[in-house]
Amino acid sequence: MKTYLVGGAVRDALLGRPFTERDYVVVGARPDDLLALGYRPVGKDFPVFLHPQSGDQYALARTERKTGAGYYGFATRFSPDVTLEEDLARRDLTINAMAQSIEGNDGGSDIVDPYGGHRDLEARVLRHVSPAFVEDPLRVLRVARFAARFAPLGFTIAPETLQLMQDIVRSGELRALVAERVWVAPERALGEKTPAVYFEVLRQCGALAVLLPEMDCLFGVPQPEKWHPEIDTGIHTLQVLDVACELSSETTVRFAALVHDLGKGVTPRDQWPRHVGHEQAGVRVIGQMCERLKVPTEHRELGQLVSREHQRIHRAAELRDATVLEVLEAADAFRRPERFDRLLLACEADARGRGPELRARTYPQARFFRDRFKAAAAVKLDVDVMQQLAGPAIAQALRVARVEAISDVRGR
C-alpha cells in the first residue's frame, strides 16, 4: 500500500501558491485496509476515507469509463491492481494529474508526472490529460474556472483542449447538467481573481449560449457611444465585472455587476442603440435566470436591485430630495444598510466599466448617497409628536423629517 498527495496541492506547491486542502490517493489497498487503520468512510459513490487525525481525504485508486449519455453515465472500478498512472489518467488537466509520495519526500524529486503536468506548469498551459476529457461535460466549466484562476499568472488554454471543449458543447451534453451544477461553477468563478475570463472562455467554446443565454445575447448589442465608448453591451458587462472585482471580493456584488444590464438583451432591434426601460426588463430577466439556475436569494435580490436602480443612482445630482428618499426606501436601505452599500459598489463598477479612459474616474454618486443615507437614518421623531400621531401618520412624519435631513445635506 502506497499513499500519494495528488491534484491541487501538488500543483500549487510547484507554483509557490498557498494551499490548505490536501487530497490523497492510496494505491494497492482495499477498503478494509483503511478501515483497519481507523480511517472513516464517507460518500456513497466510491470509497473515500477521512484520516482519523487530520481529516484529510484519502481515496482508493480508481479508473472511470463512460458507459452512457449525460454526466452520470460512468462506471468506476476499484482494485488494488489499479496503478497510480491509471488513477491520474482520469483527471481533467495535466497540471492536476501529478502526485507526490508522502514517504521519503526529498523536496520534490519524488513527483510522479506521467502526463507532463510540470512541463505545462512552466509553459503556463491548461491542457487535457487524454481524449477521455470529452466524457465529462462538467470539464468545460472546470477548465473555464481554472483559466479565470490562473490568467493572472499568464496561463492560456491549449488550442486542442479548447477544441475538445467545443466538441462537448456540440454534443449537446451540457444541456443534461442539472441547474444546481450549472450555478456552482460560475459562483466559484466569481470568487476568482479574474472571473471575466471564465465567461470569455465559455463564449469561446460556445457554452455561454447554452448555459447562460441571457448573458450571451448581450454580445453584439450596441449602446449609445456617447455614454458607452466600448459600444458592445457584452464587452461592457465584462468590463463592469472587472471593476467590481477591484471594489469587492463578495460574489453578490460581482454577480450584480454581471447581470445589471441583462434587460438590454431583450430590447427590440429597431430601438437600438437606445434601451428604454431596460432597468425593469432586467428585473424580469434576472428573476427568470435565477429561478432556472437555483441562484441564491441574496444574489438574485441584489442583482434585481442594481438593475432597477442603477440609472437613478447614476443621476444622483439631478434627483429631488424626495426622490433620493424614494431610492433609499426602494433599496430597503434603512433595514439593510449592508446591501445598500453593495448596491453602490455595483453601480460604481457600472459607471467605471466603460473603456480604459473611464476606468480611473471617480464616482461621487456613491458618497452623495452615503451622506444622505447617514443623515436620513439618524432622524428620530420626537416622543411627543409620536404620541399625537398613529399608524400611517407616523410613517409620513418620519418621511417628511428624512427629506428635510437630506435637504440639509444638500445645503451644506
318 found inside a domain: yes
Residues in the chain: 412
In a domain? residue 359: yes
- Residue 45, pLDDT score: 61
Strands annotated E in 337-393: none
Domains identified in the chain, total number: 2
How would you classify the pairing of strands 62-66 and 99-101?
unpaired
> Could you tell me if residue 279 is inside a domain?
yes
Give the range of the structural domain holding residue 361, as residue numbers without chain letter.
251-259+275-411
Domain match, 107 and 255 both: no
The residues near 79 (Cβ < 8 Å, ≥ 6 apart) are none
The yes-or-no verdict on residue 44 having pLDDT over 70 is no
**132, part of any domain:** no
Check whether residue 255 and residue 399 sit in a common domain: yes
Distances (CA, A) of 1 to 28, 63, 83, 264: 5, 17, 11, 59
Asked if residue 255 lies in contact with residue 303, where contact means CB atoms within 8 angstroms, the answer is: yes
- Confidence (pLDDT) at 182: 82
107 pLDDT exceeds 50? no
Average pLDDT of the residues in 17-34: 91
349-367 per-position pLDDT tens digit: 999 999 888 899 999 999 9
Q: Among residues of the chain, what percentage have pLDDT more than 70? A: 93
Question: Does residue 224 surpass a pLDDT of 50?
Answer: yes
Q: How far is CA 370 from CA 325, 363, 409, in A?
A: 12, 12, 11
The residue with greater pLDDT, 72 or 207, is 207
- Last residue of one domain, picked from the residues 59, 80, 115: 115
**265 lies in some domain:** no
189 vs 65, higher pLDDT? 189
Last-in-domain residue among 76, 95, 115: 115
Residue 108: band (very low, low, confident or very high) from pLDDT cuts 50, 70, 90: very low
Which of these, 81, 122, 71, lies nearest to 98 by C-alpha position? Answer: 122
Q: How far apart are CA 381 and CA 409, in angstroms?
A: 18
Q: What is the pLDDT of residues 227-236, one digit of tens each?
A: 999 999 999 9
- Please provide the average confidence, as pLDDT, over all residues in the chain: 92
Least confident of 170-184, 208-222, 286-300: 170-184
With respect to residue 8, please indicate whether it lies within any of the assigned structural domains: yes
Residue 70 has pLDDT above 90, yes or no: no
pLDDT exceeds 60 at position 104: no
Report yes or no on whether pTM surpasses 0.75.
Answer: yes
Residue 387's pLDDT is what? Answer: 60
- Name the DSSP letter for residue 18: -
Return the CA Rg of the chain. Answer: 26
Whichever domain contains 36, its CATH number is 3.30.460.10
> What confidence score (pLDDT) does residue 68 get?
58
**The last residue of a domain, from among 87, 115, 143:** 115
Residues 84/87/88/89 CA torsion (nearest 10 deg) = 120
Nearest-angstrom CA–CA distance, 131 and 92: 10
- Inside any domain, residue 184: no
Beta bridge partners of 50: 40, 57
Smallest CA-to-CA distance from 304 within 340, 344, 350, 256 is with 256
